[in-house]
């Protein structure tokens, strides 16, 4: 069973991701802050990881709770293999591109991470010890998927407390710098500095696991009937919703003050709290706060006593039900892979230094338009499978 709002949310995040990735080395002018969400602590990646945990639970959790649905366990394994296949495909393709650029004597920032030994870096990327530009989400997702059966088994045996404790502890260790220090030590031990290769992924997997597994636990509670969304309609909640919105606004203000260096004291503390890479405390709470407000608007917003809330709810609902966004969300993995292939090709082949803001923004719009290609291909394949099944 698909949930249209989840597909719509994934669609929104894919558009945000494509715009920021494609616009990385373009001069966009007045749209720069909008494309890169300059005042938002969290971006599409954090929402995507949280939604991934939620969606995986909705799709597969019952395989561990209902013997009649044990086939879902195998389906989860197939999903994990599919994501890993996309990851390997991207690594091989970009490694070949880096090798070709080196052979031709061309250098590009987009393949700089491959250093002087592209094949070595590519091999390290396959096993998730390193990652090229914007190629760290899929290997992180694979790791979380591999750990998912253990989390489901613990929850099915009544040990949800253990999952919660491990998630909290893992996030806490992620805040200590332990993982980064481990990568540095391993780099030295393997002698990778001579090849200008750095180990590790941009996203701290210890910290970011909190987003995925919180989503997984919420999704599991939902499909098991333990999470009653009708509780969001309680008349006691609007003040909490308002407080949550104010917290999100305060987080945006904190980031703005930090980025414009309007605060000079305790900058290291600010940096830790709002860290995207290590998912600092404010960043983590901001994702949860945003998820709560969206859920409240969708469930309770339509019947709210406040006209502004009803209007916001109606607008959000129409947005997330929009057919283009839903279709994007339903083909998220293929679109993610497609857009990275296209962006790598673009930056390897096109000199962007002389592109004016108008042309740069037109390139962004053209990039969004190309997302129709993997959607059309995915729908075509689905139609062929359905036709084959009907005639079998």
**Rounded Cα gap, residues 388 and 392, in angstroms:** 6
Read off the tokens for 145.
Answer: 């998927």
> What are the φ/ψ torsions at residue 46 (nearest 5 degrees)?
-65, -45
Asked whether the predicted pLDDT for residue 162 surpasses 70, the reply is: yes
Query: What pLDDT is recorded for position 40?
Result: 66
DSSP designation for 200: B
pLDDT band at 392 (very low <50, low <70, confident <90, very high): low
Query: What pLDDT is recorded for position 281?
Result: 92
Helices (H), the chain: 4-22, 32-35, 44-60, 62-65, 71-103, 118-126, 137-156, 160-174, 178-190, 205-223, 238-259, 267-273, 281-299, 307-321, 323-330, 332-349, 357-369, 372-391
Asked whether the predicted pLDDT for residue 196 surpasses 80, the reply is: no
Asked whether the predicted pLDDT for residue 176 surpasses 60, the reply is: yes
Calculate ∠ Cα 8-128-272, nearest 5°: 70
Q: Which of 323, 331, 332, 339 is nearest to 381 (CA)?
A: 331
- Could you tell me if residue 8 is inside a domain? no
pLDDT, one tens digit per residue, over 35-79 is 766 566 677 889 999 999 999 999 999 999 888 888 889 999 999
Q: Between these two residues, 265 and 50, which has the higher pLDDT value?
A: 50
The residue segments making up the domain with residue 185 are 49-227
Question: What is the rounded average pLDDT of the residues 79-92?
Answer: 96
- Could you tell me if residue 305 is inside a domain? no
pLDDT, one tens digit per residue, over 274-318 is 888 899 999 999 999 999 999 999 999 999 988 999 999 999 999
Query: What pLDDT is recorded for position 336?
Result: 95
- Could you tell me if residue 165 is inside a domain? yes
Query: What pLDDT is recorded for position 150?
Result: 96
**What length is written for the chain?**
392
> What are the φ/ψ torsions at residue 120 (nearest 5 degrees)?
-60, -45
- Could you tell me if residue 335 is inside a domain? no
Say how many C-beta atoms besides its own lie within 10 A of residue 8's C-beta.
25
The percent of residues in the chain predicted with pLDDT above 70, rounded, is 98
**Rounded Cα gap, residues 189 and 65, in angstroms:** 45
Lowest mean pLDDT among 22-36, 162-176, 368-382: 22-36
- Could you tell me if residue 280 is inside a domain? no
- Could you tell me if residue 64 is inside a domain? yes
- Could you tell me if residue 128 is inside a domain? yes
pLDDT, one tens digit per residue, over 218-238 is 999 999 999 989 999 998 999
Query: What pLDDT is recorded for position 186?
Result: 84
Asked whether the predicted pLDDT for residue 83 surpasses 60, the reply is: yes
**Rounded Cα gap, residues 178 and 198, in angstroms:** 16
> What are the φ/ψ torsions at residue 177 (nearest 5 degrees)?
85, 10
Asked whether the predicted pLDDT for residue 391 surpasses 60, the reply is: yes
Q: Which of 115, 1, 28, 15 is nearest to 322 (CA)?
A: 15
- Could you tell me if residue 160 is inside a domain? yes
Query: What pLDDT is recorded for position 244?
Result: 95
Q: Between these two residues, 17 and 264, which has the higher pLDDT value?
A: 17
pLDDT, one tens digit per residue, over 135-150 is 999 999 999 999 999 9
The percent of residues in the chain predicted with pLDDT above 90, rounded, is 60
Asked whether the predicted pLDDT for residue 113 surpasses 60, the reply is: yes
Query: What pLDDT is recorded for position 41?
Result: 66
Structural domains in the chain (count):
1
């Amino acid at each position: 069973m698909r949930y249209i709002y989840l597909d719509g949310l994934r669609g929104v995040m894919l558009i945000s991701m494509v715009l920021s990735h494609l616009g990385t080395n373009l001069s966009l002018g007045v749209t720069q802050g909008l494309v890169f969400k300059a005042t938002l602590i969290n971006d599409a990646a954090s929402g995507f990881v949280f939604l991934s945990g939620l969606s995986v639970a909705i799709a597969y959790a019952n395989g561990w709770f209902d013997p009649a649905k044990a086939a879902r366990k195998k389906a989860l394994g197939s999903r994990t293999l599919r994501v890993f296949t996309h990851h390997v495909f991207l690594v091989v393709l970009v490694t070949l591109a880096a090798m070709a650029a080196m052979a031709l004597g061309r250098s590009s920032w987009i393949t700089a991470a491959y250093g002087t030994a592209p094949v070595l870096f590519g091999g390290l990327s396959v096993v998730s010890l390193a990652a090229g530009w914007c190629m760290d989400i899929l290997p992180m997702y694979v790791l979380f998927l591999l750990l998912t059966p253990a989390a489901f088994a613990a929850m099915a045996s009544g040990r949800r407390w253990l999952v919660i404790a491990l998630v909290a502890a893992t996030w806490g260790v992620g805040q200590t710098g332990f993982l980064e220090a481990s990568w540095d030590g391993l780099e030295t031990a393997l002698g990778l500095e001579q090849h200008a290769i750095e180990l590790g992924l941009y996203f701290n997997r210890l910290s970011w696991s909190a987003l995925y597994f919180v989503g997984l636990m919420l999704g599991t509670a939902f499909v098991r009937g333990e999470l009653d969304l009708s509780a969001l309609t309680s008349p006691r909640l609007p003040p909490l919703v308002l407080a949550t919105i104010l917290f999100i606004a305060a987080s945006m203000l904190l980031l703005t003050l930090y980025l414009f260096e309007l605060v000079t004291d305790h900058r290291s503390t600010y940096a830790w709290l709002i860290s995207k890479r290590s998912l600092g405390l404010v960043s983590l709470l901001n994702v949860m706060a945003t998820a709560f407000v969206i859920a409240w608007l969708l469930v309770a917003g339509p019947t709210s006593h406040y006209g502004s809330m009803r209007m916001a709810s109606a607008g959000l609902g129409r947005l997330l039900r929009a057919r283009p966004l839903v279709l994007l969300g339903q083909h998220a993995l293929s679109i993610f892979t497609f857009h990275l292939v296209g962006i790598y090709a673009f930056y390897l082949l096109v000199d962007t230094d002389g592109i004016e803001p108008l042309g740069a923004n037109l390139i962004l719009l053209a990039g969004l338009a190309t997302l129709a290609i993997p959607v059309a291909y995915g729908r075509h394949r689905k139609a062929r499978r359905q036709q084959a099944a009907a005639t079998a």
